[in-house]
Amino acid sequence: MTPHIPNGAEHEVVVTGIGLVAGELTDPEALFDHLAEGRTLITEHPRHKEWGVPCAVSAHIDPQVRQALTDAAPEEAGPLGPAGVLAWHAAAQAWQRSGLPRRLDTERGGVFLACNRMVMEPAELTALAAHVDHEAGALDLDGYLERLDDPAGPAADGGLDPRRHERIQPDSATAALADYFGAVGVLETHADACAAGGMAIGSAYRYIRSGALDVALAGGAESLTTLTSVTAFYGVGALAPADGRDPAQISRPFDKDRSGFVIGDGAAFLVLESRAHAEARGARVLATVAGYAGVTEAVKMTSSSRDGSDYAQCMRAALGDAGLAPEDIDHVNAHGTSTEANDTCEAAALHTVFGARAARLPVTGNKSAMGHSLANSGAAEAVLSVLSLQRQTLLPTLNFTEPDEVTGGLDIVTERRPARVTAVLSNSFGFGGQNCSLILAEAG
C-alpha cells in the first residue's frame, strides 16, 4: 500500500499512466504512431450498409479485438456491457503502467468515467413496441417484463440479453473499476455529451488539486456505433453521408467541404496523482494537468454561439485556472468534429482568444482519423496530448485542403510535425452546451 501524503490546499496534479483502445489498436503509442503516419481508423462498418443508413462508415472497434477484450476481462469485474469492456482494458492498462499496486485500498482514490446513456437496439425496440397502446398512449410495462422471461421472447432475436438494462448501466463500469482497484473514495459517471471525457478528467483533477484525493482513474468509454445511435445522429444532421466516398476522406475538420462527423467507439484512461504522492512512490511523471474549465450554455441543442464567444469563455477560464496566458499555449488539440456549426464556433473562438497569434498556433483535429467517440473523445485526445508532450511531435489533421471564411487563418497541422511543446489546450464541446477545455503541460 502506498503511503498517505499529507495535503495542503492546492496540489499539482500529474499524469502517471495512460491506456487506450481504438479500432484495431490496444495501446496509446500504437495509436499515436498510426495517426502520425497519416493513417485512419475510419472504415466501412460491417453492418451499416445492411441497416440501410446513409453514413455506412465508422471508427468502430474491430470485432475480433472486441471479442479478445471481452474474453480478457476478469470475472471479478462483473458485468460490464460493451462500453464497459472497452473501459476495462484502457483503465487496467493505465493503472498497470502507473506502477500503482494492484489494489489501492484507500478512500483517497477515485474513479471518474465518462459514458453516455445506453440505447435500445432494434430487437429490444420491437419487443417493447408490441406492448404499447398507441390510442391510449400507454405502455404495458408489466407485460413487457413478463415477456422478457419467455424463452421465445427478445432473447431469441439476435442473441441480445433482454435484461441488460437491468444489470448494466453506464455507472456499472465505474463501480466495477473502483471495486477492482480499491479506489472507492469518489465515484463519478459523466454523461456530459461529447464533453464528458474531458469533464471526467477535469473533475478528478479538481479533487486531487484540492487535497481530497491522492489518486484518480479518469477517462471515458463509448460503444455507440449501433443502429439506434447512428440513426439518431443522422436524423439531426450531425453525421457525414458516405456518398460513395473513400471512408478515410469523409471526416474533414475545419475544411470548407466538411459535412458532418463520423461516429466512433473507444476507451481511454489516465491515472492522475498529486505530485507529492507520485514522487513519494518513485513514479514516472508523464505530464501535468495544469488547468481545466467546464462551462455550460444553452444557445441551441446542437450548436453554440456562432461568434465563438461561449467556446472562448471556456478556453479563457481554463487558462485562468492554469495561471497561463494565451501565449503560453504551444498547441491546440481541437474538438474539430467536422460539422459546419462546431468547426465554425471553435475557429471563431480560437481567433478571439489568440488573436493574431492564431495564425502561428498549430491546431490538430484527431477526429479526422479517429472519428468522434462522443463521451470518450475528450479522454482519448487528452491521452494523445500527453504523448505529443512526451514526443515533442504534433499529429496531422487528415483531409484538410482549404478553409472557409471562418476557419481560414488557422495553422491546421496536416503532416506530422516536430515542435517544441510545453503546454497543450485540449477542447471538447458537447451537444446541449456542455463545454470543456483542459490544459496539459510538460512533466517538469
Catalytic center residues: 194, 335, 372
- What's the angle, vertex CA 188, arms to CA 292 and CA 171, rounded to 5? 135
Q: Helices 170-181 and 81-98, interaxial angle, to 10°?
A: 30
**Cell numbers for 393:** 511531435
Selection from 348, 325, 444, 435 nearest residue 390 by Cα: 444
Is residue 356 within a helix (H) or strand (E), and if so which, with residue range? none
Selection from 413, 88, 414 nearest residue 220 by Cα: 88
Burial 319-340 (b: 16+ CB within 10 A, else e): bebbebebeebbbbbbbbbbbb
**Cell numbers for 81:** 456491457
What's the rounded Cα separation, in Å, for the pair 260 and 243? 12
Residue 296 corresponds to which amino acid? Answer: T
Burial 170-190 (b: 16+ CB within 10 A, else e): bbbbbbbbbbbbbbbbbbbbb
What's the rounded Cα separation, in Å, for the pair 10 and 28? 30
What's the rounded Cα separation, in Å, for the pair 433 and 345? 12
Selection from 145, 146, 144 nearest residue 129 by Cα: 144
**Cell numbers for 332:** 491546440
- What's the angle, vertex CA 431, arms to CA 425 and CA 435, rounded to 5? 30
Burial 247-280 (b: 16+ CB within 10 A, else e): bbebbbbbbbebbbbbbbbbbbbbbbbbbbbbee
Residue 303 corresponds to which amino acid? Answer: S
Is residue 431 within a helix (H) or strand (E), and if so which, with residue range? none
First to last CA, the chain: 26
